[in-house]
Copies of this chain bind each other. A is one copy, B any other.
Amino acid sequence: MGDIVFTGSVEQELKKIIEEYGPDSVFFLADRHTYCHCFSLFREINILQNHIILIEPGENHKSMESVEKIWKVLISKGARRNSVLINIGGGIVTDVGGFAASCFKRGIKCVNIPTTLLAQVDASVGGKTGINMGGLKNEVGTFSIPECVIIDTCFLKTLPVRQILSGFAEMIKHALLQGGPHFQDIFSLSPESLSERISLDLIKESVRVKENIVKSDPTEKGIRKALNFGHTVGHALESVAIEQGVEFYHGDAVAWGMVAELYLSVKKRGFDENLYQQIRTFIRTLYPFYSFPVTEEKLYGLMLHDKKNEKEGVNFTLLKAPGDYIIDNYCSREEILAALKSLV
């Protein structure tokens, strides 16, 4: 595992790390948004004295074109084996930059500085890098751990609430998988001014949940599937939203995905029904409901073709209780349609 540093002074940490590596040259990767909103937070490191590589923002640019652009700049500026690439941005920037670094000269050092809550609690751990191809998400990529990830809440102040909520859905997922005091901490947060209540300590705890699961299964052969909780239904909702051009964030989809999969957990694994109702209310208070027209049959069809389903049938991670999960639950068409109906 690479280091994950939680800090209130990202710039000091970055300086320390660069000094420690003593690289031939330093490259900064960002998209235009991060470049405008986040680079001004660095005052002492003269970023402009280093090489800056900018890619276009947005899922469309999580592409080979962006990766080749990075490689070409690295080559033209004479990057060597001990050069380092610093990725500053959301999950798209860290996924694209991580992939580029992992293949350049068969792997140069890279440091991720995630600037969204989603990237901090999710993409920062697990060493997945990737780009989209042929209309499919993360079709090409590597498992590659960055040398270091630096997490600082200062960046969260640059984000709109909807973006915070998108990351918070993954924190809810981690809390459900972990149970115990962390579960209590997350579900006792007041929905008002949520952004300010998400402390570095809460993020740290959330990251640790994922880290512990990934450590025991780095290449996703078994237990790591637990992290797919909420995502089987969630991905189907997200696909429809993208298809219809509706603004419905990843976290919104995962939040409602978790409600549906908790319903399945109640029916098939004896998850407490009262607790399910409380969680459902918590999510309904925070997240916009999906208002686009879609049939349960359509969503079911999308789940059946998700690449995570290796054989026939739809595979779910379900919960017996917070902190007590079971992977590889195959659910029937009828069970899934009932869970989707329960959302409405």
B-binding residues in A (CB < 8 A): 64, 68, 71-72, 75-76, 80-82, 99, 102-107, 128, 130, 133-134, 136, 138-143, 219, 307, 310
A64 to B68, CA, bound (A): 9
Q: Which residues of B contact A134 (CB under 8 A)?
A: 71-72, 75-76
A104 to B107, CA, bound (A): 17
A72 to B239, CA, bound (A): 21
Q: Which 6 A-B pairs have the closest CB atoms?
A: A75-B134, A106-B141, A103-B140, A106-B143, A103-B142, A106-B142
For this chain, the copies found in one complex come to 2
Task: Specify which of B71, B75, B80, B219 is in contact with A310 (CB 8 Å cutoff).
Answer: B80
Tell whether, in the assembled complex, residue A142 and residue B107 are in contact, meaning their CB atoms are under 8 Å apart: yes
A98: min CB distance to chain B, Å: 11
A314: min CB distance to chain B, Å: 15
What are 27 A-B residue pairs whose CB atoms fall within 8 Å in the complex?
A: A64-B64, A71-B133, A71-B134, A71-B140, A72-B133, A72-B134, A75-B134, A75-B136, A75-B139, A80-B307, A81-B307, A81-B310, A82-B310, A102-B142, A103-B140, A103-B141, A103-B142, A104-B139, A104-B140, A105-B140, A105-B307, A106-B128, A106-B141, A106-B142, A107-B142, A107-B143, A107-B219
A134 to B72, CA, bound (A): 7
